[in-house]
Chain A
């Protein structure tokens, strides 16, 4: 009885095209966003911010990127980790070479650089499809990992091979480096994610999004209608890589502080892939839900035994965690292959009818 759309008539196409056409949805999202901006920074403790919220935001950005490429444009990429590394290393080189550059500008530029790399590795998609394309993107993953490891220019010949985010301020607040507070870093992440999520949503509900979905669903018919496969696919790779690069830059500067190539290896690519699939392909909400699930679950599993009062050898615990993670993935895929976003939709349907069963 609370969640009814009856009576909410749209009188213009404009209102029909809105991101949240149902009023209750709008209120809910505004509430969540308000809490995120106004409440969380004051209430959350360091651990929550550093271990859960900030990585959630970083991975949400990466998940949006991969979702655009895989969920909307139908191109399977296993190189997400490598693209994140491009963003991280690019920002590192930019900020060390131009100490006066504003950090946000550095982020955006490195996103553009990653987009360029993405286009390069996306070129095979014009000839290769499906699983074969996935393996081609693995070439990107392994090659870039190797490149950043071997060519010492990338980490300015630092003998340990790690890159460290130098301290930077924005609007007078220290946002990266050892003195930046978790709250400050969280806010920057939050702002970046909200802005770019809205941009992505706009893209996805317009011509670009339709062109991607057309190529995804039936690329031959899409071409017959007049979509140019070259432009569509490369644009998808470019924009998706931009988001992943941005996420990589965020991960280095706003979350980890320092990293080496291992932090962006194939396991990261799989992590983001899980987020997108578990969350729901082709759904912006899904990217967020998936990122939340995959970021929170390991933390939960690590802490769960203590909560229940059981102590376990760390080795054993780690193995069990891996097993449970894999088991949950299989379970979710069986129960709802369209992901958490679909479960959410089903919940909304039920809510619409509540308290009636049908």
Chain B
């Protein structure tokens, strides 16, 4: 009986009783959601352009963060370390294209997916070999204060770091959306995503596109790495963020940039609200699987995600 009340009654009454706190939770969820979107975006870019589901995206985040911290630890100033890391990510993209994508062109998507899992192992091992595997602090100077935002006669507490991260994320996301839809390169990327053969036949160089896409994903990973790493330290668990991005992708549709954004927000808010209001009733830590359950429920109604392409099958 208690558990039923705890699930169906208490959370709602708590929400109604403390609307400002609820708002705080929602905002916190939105902020986290933007961060998820950022990681999911990296996936979407690569999937759209090459049809590969890049499991290594999470490790790219880790690797980028490790490289940045590693450089900074060796005395390179932030202003130089960031561009240097970007260069590293671009070089990485070129290596991946040459050593992995090219030999595996035209293979089954499942094989490519497995290859990216292999890649994630390689990058993880490499990153830790080069820069060590202890937890590192990442501080590039983003202020971490607690802000007080007045709402009516109550107030909300916000972490300034989260806000800066969210704003950066939002800018990046909007920038990428514009990039995709307004620039010639963006057009070429969309062409490749639609049809490799057709794109090649109008002269779009497939391999260059792939390098570009993986580089952009690498940079997105770097930003995500800075944001997440700054929050919780740079360590192996950072790569598991990718696993959180998966439900976002599912919700939003694997091929949709707006889907990644909206999916991220929904998952971020959903997760936070569920954890705060329903978590205590069922034992806590439901963040581990709640996002997946939410995505699963959505999938049952829309198997291609909110914005994904409808797969039409013909015989």
A is bound by B: yes
A: residues with CB less than 8 A from B are 76, 124, 127-132, 135-136, 138-139, 142-143, 145-146, 150-151, 220-221, 224, 266, 270, 273-274, 277, 315-316, 319-330, 333-334, 337
Besides A132-B305, A277-B111, 5 other CB < 8 A contacts?
Answer: A130-B109, A135-B246, A320-B125, A325-B121, A326-B122
In the complex the two chains form, is B247's CB within 8 Å of A135's CB? yes
Residue of A nearest to B118 (CB): A329
Chain B 106-137 residues near chain A, CB threshold 8 A: 107-111, 113-115, 117-126, 128-129, 133
Instruction: Check A129–B292 contact: CB distance below 8 A.
Output: no
The reply to whether B303 and A333 form a contact with Cβ atoms under 8 Å apart is no
Minimum CB–CB distance from B154 to chain A (whole Å) comes to 34
Q: Which of B31-39, B143-151, B293-301 contacts A (4 or more CB under 8 A)?
A: B293-301
Residue in A130, A138, A150, A266 whose CB lies within 8 Å of B285: A150
Q: How far apart are the CA atoms of A81 and B296 in the complex, in Å?
A: 19
CB distance B293 to A139 under 8 Å? yes
Q: In the assembly, what is the distance between CA of A51 and CA of B117, in Å?
A: 25
- B21-65 toward A: CB 8 Å interface, digit per residue (1/0)? 000000000000000000000000000000001000000000000
* CB of A140 to closest CB in B, whole Å: 8
Q: Are A334 and B299 in contact (CB under 8 A)?
A: no
Q: Is the CB of A221 within 8 A of B315?
A: yes
**Cα separation A329 to B113 with both chains bound (whole Å):** 11
The minimal Cβ–Cβ distance linking A4 to chain B, given in whole angstroms, is 34
The answer, yes or no, to whether B175 is at the interface (CB within 8 Å) is no
Query: Please, which residue of chain A has its CB at the minimum distance from the CB of B111?
Result: A337
Q: Within the complex, which residue of B114, B124, B129, B288 is in contact with A333, where a contact is CB–CB below 8 Å?
A: B114
Contacts of B176 in A (CB 8 A): none
Residue pair A330, B128 in contact (C-beta under 8 Å): no
> Which of B's residues lie within 8 Å of A, judged by CB?
53, 99-100, 103-104, 107-111, 113-115, 117-126, 128-129, 133, 243, 246-247, 249-250, 254, 282-286, 288-289, 292-293, 295-296, 299-300, 303-305, 311, 313, 315
Select one of B114, B133, B299 contacting A329, CB under 8 A.
B114
Secondary structure at the B interface, as helix, strand, loop or mixed, is: helix
Across chains A and B, the number of contacting residue pairs, with CB separation under 8 Å, is: 135
In the assembled complex, how far is the CB of residue B130 from the closest CB belonging to chain A, in whole angstroms? 9
CA distance A84 to B121 in the complex (A): 23
Judged by DSSP, the binding face of A is helix
Q: Which residues of B contact A145 (CB under 8 A)?
A: 288-289
Q: Are A127 and B299 in contact (CB under 8 A)?
A: yes
Q: Given A124-B296, A132-B305, A221-B315, are A266 and B243 also a contact pair (CB < 8 Å)?
A: yes
List residues of chain B with CB within 8 A of the CB of A76.
110
The residue in A136, A139, A146, A320 that gathers the most chain B C-beta atoms within 10 A of its C-beta is A139
Asked if B104 and A334 make an inter-chain contact with CB atoms under 8 angstroms apart, the answer reads yes
A135-B250, A316-B129 known; A326 vs B315 contact (CB < 8 Å): no
* B250–A146 CB distance below 8 A: no
Chain B residues, Cβ within 8 Å of A150: 282-285
Of the listed residues B125, B133, B286, the one surrounded by the most CB atoms of chain A closer than 10 A to its CB is: B125
- Chain B residues contacting A146 (CB-CB under 8 Å) are 285-286, 288-289
A266 to B240, CA, bound (A): 11
List residues of chain B with CB within 8 A of the CB of A128: 299-300, 303
If A132-B305, A274-B114 touch, whether A327 touches B129 (CB-CB below 8 Å) is: no
Q: How far is B293's CA from A135's CA once the two chains are assembled, in angstroms? A: 10
Residue of B249, B289, B305 with most chain A CB atoms under a 10 A cut-off: B289
Is the beta-carbon distance between A326 and B129 smaller than 8 angstroms?
no
Select from chain B the residue with minimum beta-carbon distance to A339: B111
B288 contact set on A, CB distance < 8 A: 142, 145-146
A270 to B254, CA, bound (A): 21
Q: Which residues of B contact A266 (CB under 8 A)?
A: 243
A337 touches B108 (CB 8 A): yes
Query: 30 A-B pairs, CB-CB below 8 angstroms?
Result: A124-B299, A129-B303, A129-B311, A131-B254, A135-B247, A135-B292, A136-B292, A136-B299, A138-B246, A139-B292, A143-B289, A146-B286, A151-B283, A273-B114, A316-B129, A319-B128, A322-B121, A322-B124, A323-B124, A323-B129, A326-B117, A326-B125, A327-B121, A327-B122, A329-B115, A333-B111, A334-B100, A334-B104, A337-B104, A337-B108
